[in-house]
Amino acid sequence: MNEMIRELGRDLRSEKLVPALSCGMITGVQLLVFSVSMAAVIFSGPLTPYLAEGVGLVLFGYCAIGTLVALSSEFRGAVAGAPLPSVMMLVAITTTIDLDGRDLYATAVAAALIGTMAAGLGFVLIGHLRLARFLRFIPYPVAGGFVAGTGGLACVVALRLMGVTVDSDEPFSSIDPGVALNLGIGLAYGLGLYVLMKVWKSFAIFPASFLVAAAAFQLAMIALGVSGEEARASGLLFAGMSGGELWPPIGPSDLPYIDWLEFAGQVPNLLILFTVTLVCVVMNLGGVEVAANADLDWNREFRVTGWANAVTGAGGAPPGCLIATTSIRNVLFGATTRLTGLFTALALAACLVAGDTLLGFFPIPLIGGVLLFLGLHMMEAWLIGTLKRLAWADYLIILVMFATIVVFGFLEGVGAGMLITTAIFVISLSRMDVVQHRFTARDRQSNRTRPIPERAILLAEGGRMQAYRLRGHLFFGSAYRLADQLKLSLGADPPPSCILLDFENVTSFDLSAVNALVRFIRAADTAGVVVVLAGASERLEASLEAELPAAVRASVVSERDEDHALEHCEDIVIEKWQSEHESQAGSRDALLERVVDDFARHLDRQVLFEEMLEELEEWMEPREFAAGDTIVASGEPRDGLQLLREGRASQFGSGGTRLFELSPGDVIEPRGAFDASAAATATIAVERCRTLVLTPDARVRLERSHPQRMLRLYEYVFTADEGASGSMTA
């Protein structure tokens, strides 16, 4: 609080005072016109006698929420008020309450009071639980259709204010000379204001034009000799008002008039009011961030907006939020201070205290013109401005929502938009290929070190292993397309021996995806093809266990990662080839012809390795490891370079993934001969292993006494055929 007072004091003494005062006063007049217009929309028809109280409600709301947001928002120069969509939703609520007189008024105010306070507490909860980040993803077309529909609804309500009613049997049958005059003035002002704002784009045109038009209207009445009573009887001025002060609009004596049963029927509409205002909060916060290049804490802003609405609701006002267009305008004029919002609220508070005498200055046609202007502006921005920028599917959502909101209402419109958006998303998602990568054993092998003949078999017969690396979400659309694709692979020539499905990059799946996989696994089992799963989640494993017959499930192989799944598939391909060609001398001879060069290189390497061991054995320390023992631990200091003399070992990364396999003749941690830094990988014995260790001290002595031997070791380590990851055994 002290910091807030010091900040306001600094701004009062700074160059921001004049821009804040001018912007605040002009915005105050603008919001005054808007407040009376919105009150006239809400308190129309049977509620017209309570217009003065309605203006008091809306003005109080602007004062309360404007003050609290100005003082608490992270954005300096923030101005808040009731957005038009929320006002339109309150209109929908008041027109569906089946009461009249004081009962209607008290019940309508109770609905606004409780609805606004509930919305505020909901926003506080969103901010407290830090859920605001999830609300950034409201689909753009849905938000656009929502705003366009609000604009269309505002135009319809504007025509009603001007006295135009549409009858299904006799359209526009109610237009008499008085209504025609009202309609002409309203259309002229609304369309004229729209054109003026398009030409000059000055924010002062709106309040200035209204004051000039209202003054001209009053002068015309005097010149034509039209009395106030005649103007009110013709629908040109507000009639039937209760008179008196604008505040307070309701008191304890009104409680008996509230029909709580009728109120209970408005609960669905109050939920829609919360949703509508929530969308407005999200759109305005996003607009401020983009236009002002600001990075706001959305959770804080939701808490600020929530508490402000909780206070505003106590006075029966409609829910509100930060207004992006007005707040951004303050930035352009250098009024980035909390004083701007406070001056705006102060101007409105002065009108609130003055009473309802000012309402006689507001002609009804001009109020309708204001609403018509706002509706046209919204429709132009989202029905015309987005025509060339959006894809046809997104634009279709806006059109459908616009028509549905105007004809049926907000709930139906938002529901239609979300339904179409979901349908388009599902269709797009189902068309996305969930197969990230497809390969065979010819293209990629496991990190296991294999004898040269087995490597040759994999190169020749690797096509009989087909692997599919999957990604994303598997649901009924994409999963059935995948299952059909996998079934086609069962009929390949030659037929596959196994099919590998890698689920490590699959984020989620539904029951339809499980059913599709079950169908494929059954077909593969019938065809004699082994299905190998890699990285399948426990939930997927349990689902397959429940859906597959025990015999079929037993044939499915599950491995923890793709590397081990590849190794298992390679074993299947190799065993299949050996069983088919074991007695065929021609096939074995062809295989030997293919690997003879590899054999020669391998033997040369082994000879070199054995000769080197004879020279270095006296300088190296022998070690033995049982299967599963750690030869080198990840993150622990190396104690020397190791040469694998017997057995097999595997090297693993920090995540536990097998990087490659080591066989006799391979080098383990060559840098260990030079320093004792920590090993980045772990080396584990797959079977009983024997190694020879060259410590850093032994290396130094060897370099001094037998430099030629050390050079041969260097040459072996750094120029060995394919290194540790590519060597093969005979």
Q: Would you list the DSSP string of 372-397?
A: HHHHHHHHIIIIITTTTTS-HHHHHH
Tokens of residue 439, six digits:
């390969």
pLDDT at 49: 85
**Rounded CA gap, 694 and 704, in Å?**
15
Q: What angle do CA 650, 656, 660 make, to 5 degrees?
A: 30
pLDDT at 350: 84
The residues with which 502 forms a beta bridge, in sequence order, are: 469, 534
The structural domains of the chain, with segments of one domain joined by +, span 2-242+256-423, 435-582, 597-726
- Residues in contact with 410: Cβ distance below 8 Å, sequence separation at least 6, in sequence order: 85, 88, 89, 92, 146, 149, 272, 276
Residue 69 contacts residue 308 (beta carbons within 8 Å): yes
- Give the closest residue to 497 by CA, choosing from 458, 540, 545, 537: 458
pLDDT at 727: 40
Tokens of residue 486, six digits:
């996998």
CATH class of domain segment(s) 597-726? mainly beta
**Rounded CA gap, 93 and 628, in Å?**
73
603: amino acid identity, one letter: L
pLDDT at 321: 93
Q: Would you tell me the crossing angle of helices 205-224 and 177-200 to the nearest 10 degrees?
A: 150
pLDDT at 241: 52
Q: What is the 3-state secondary structure (H, E, C) of 93-138?
A: HHHCCCCCHHHHHHHHHHHHHHHHHHHHHHHHHHHHCCCHHHHHHC
Is residue 83 reached through a cis peptide bond, with omega within 30 degrees of 0 on the bond before it?
A: no
Tokens of residue 675, six digits:
């320093």
- On the 0-12 / 13-18 / 19+ scale of CB atoms within 10 A, 10 is exposed
pLDDT at 232: 78
**Rounded CA gap, 568 and 566, in Å?**
5
Level-2 CATH architecture, domain 435-582: 2-Layer Sandwich (3.30)
**Rounded CA gap, 424 and 415, in Å?**
14
**Rounded CA gap, 90 and 106, in Å?**
14
Regions of the chain where pLDDT drops below 70: 1, 137, 165-175, 203, 239-249, 290-291, 355-360, 429-430, 582-603, 719-730
The residues with which 451 forms a beta bridge, in sequence order, are: 729
**Rounded CA gap, 598 and 371, in Å?**
85
- Residues in contact with 17: Cβ distance below 8 Å, sequence separation at least 6, in sequence order: 11, 339
Residue 175 contacts residue 187 (beta carbons within 8 Å): no
Query: Residues, the chain, total?
Result: 730
**Rounded CA gap, 116 and 315, in Å?**
10
**Rounded CA gap, 456 and 54, in Å?**
88
Q: Three-class SS of residue 649?
A: strand
**Sole residue written with tokens 């009249």:** 100
pLDDT at 80: 92
Residue 364 contacts residue 236 (beta carbons within 8 Å): yes
